[in-house]
Amino acid sequence: MYTVRSYVRPESLEQAITELKSGKHNRMIGGGVFLKMQHRAISKLISLDGLGLDQITQTDESVIIGGAVSLRDIETNPIILDHFPALSYAVSQIVGVQLRNLAQVGASVFSRYGFSDIIPCLLAADASVKLAEAGEMKISEFLDRERDWDILYEISLPKEVTLAYDNLRQTNGDFSSLNLAIGKTEDDWRIVYGARPMGAFLAEAASQAAKDGQSLEEVTRLVQEEVPFGTNLRASADYRRHLAGVLLERLWEVQ
C-alpha cells in the first residue's frame, strides 16, 4: 500500500494538471486498485472524480470513452457492445466485477501495464487518446512517449474498425499469458499482441501481409518472426510464440 499525505479532487482538468505538476511525488489515481499494490510515498493524490469524465458517448465516426469510465461500464455499455463487443469481452476477463467497478480506463491505459487487455485493443483499433497537456494523439504515439506528468482523460475509437480480441489465461481471472487484438477496416489490418509479457506490440509486417491477402500460415510466420516474446512466471517465450499462432488462427476464423 502507498502512503498519501493529501488527497485532492480538482474541479477542472486544468486544475488537476496544475495540482499534479506541483510536486514530483504527486500522483493521479484512477480506481486505485493497482496503485494500492505499489509501495510508494505520495505527496498529493489527485482523482478525476466529479469531472464528468465517466461517460461513454458516440459521434458519427467515433465512440468516446471518458478517462474515469470504469472497466465494468465498458463491459456493459450498449454503445460499446454495439460497436466494439470485443473490447467488452476483453475487459470482462479481468479479475472480478468488484474490481472492474472501481478500475478506471484512463488510469489503466496511462499506466501502460504490460499485462493490459485494453491497450492491445486500442492499438489494434488505432484509437486516439486525449492528454490534458500533450493534447490528442494516436495511442501508438502515446505508447512510444516517455512517461511524463500528464492526464489521460479521453479515448476515442473509430467506428469504422471491426475489432476482434482473444487471449489465453491459465486460470480464469488471471493475467493473460498472451493476448491478441486485430483491428480491421475496409483497407487495413492491425495485428497487435499484448502480455508478451511486455506491452502491446503492433506486428507491422504481418498486418501488411494480411492486408495483402496472404495466407494464415504466412501471416503466422511473420508474426513469429517479428514479435518479440519473453518469459515470465506464466509462460516461456517459446510457448508464447506458439500461442501467437493459435490465437491468430482463432481470430482469423472469426473474421
Q: Contact positions toward another protein, by CB under 8 A?
A: 1-7, 29, 31-34, 36-37, 45, 47, 49, 72, 92, 95-99, 101-102, 168, 170-175, 233, 235-236, 238-239, 242-243, 246, 249
Taking the CA of residue 112 as centre, how many other CA atoms within 13 Å lie in the half-sphere pointing to its CB? 17
Residue 65 vs 243, nearer CB to another protein: 243
Quote the least distance from Cβ 161 to another protein, whole Å: 26
Residue 36 vs 145, nearer CB to another protein: 36
The whole-angstrom separation of Cα 121 and Cα 105 is 12
Residue 34 vs 149, nearer CB to another protein: 34
Quote the least distance from Cβ 97 to another protein, whole Å: 6
Quote the least distance from Cβ 87 to another protein, whole Å: 17
What distance separates the 2 farthest-apart alpha carbons in the chain?
57
Residue 1 vs 144, nearer CB to another protein: 1
Quote the least distance from Cβ 177 to another protein, whole Å: 8
Nearest CA-CA partner of 192 in 110, 86, 105: 86
Q: Output b/e per residue, 53-92; b: 16+ Cβ within 10 A.
A: bbebebeeebbbbbbbbbbbbbbebeebeebbebbbbbbe
Helix (H) or strand (E) holding 180: strand 178-185
Q: Is 224 exposed, middle or buried (0-12, 13-18, 19+ CB in 10 A)?
A: middle
Quote the least distance from Cβ 146 to another protein, whole Å: 27
Residue 104 vs 207, nearer CB to another protein: 104
Spell out the residues 6+ positions from residue 234 whose beta carbon is closer than 8 angstroms to its own. 170, 174, 175, 177, 197
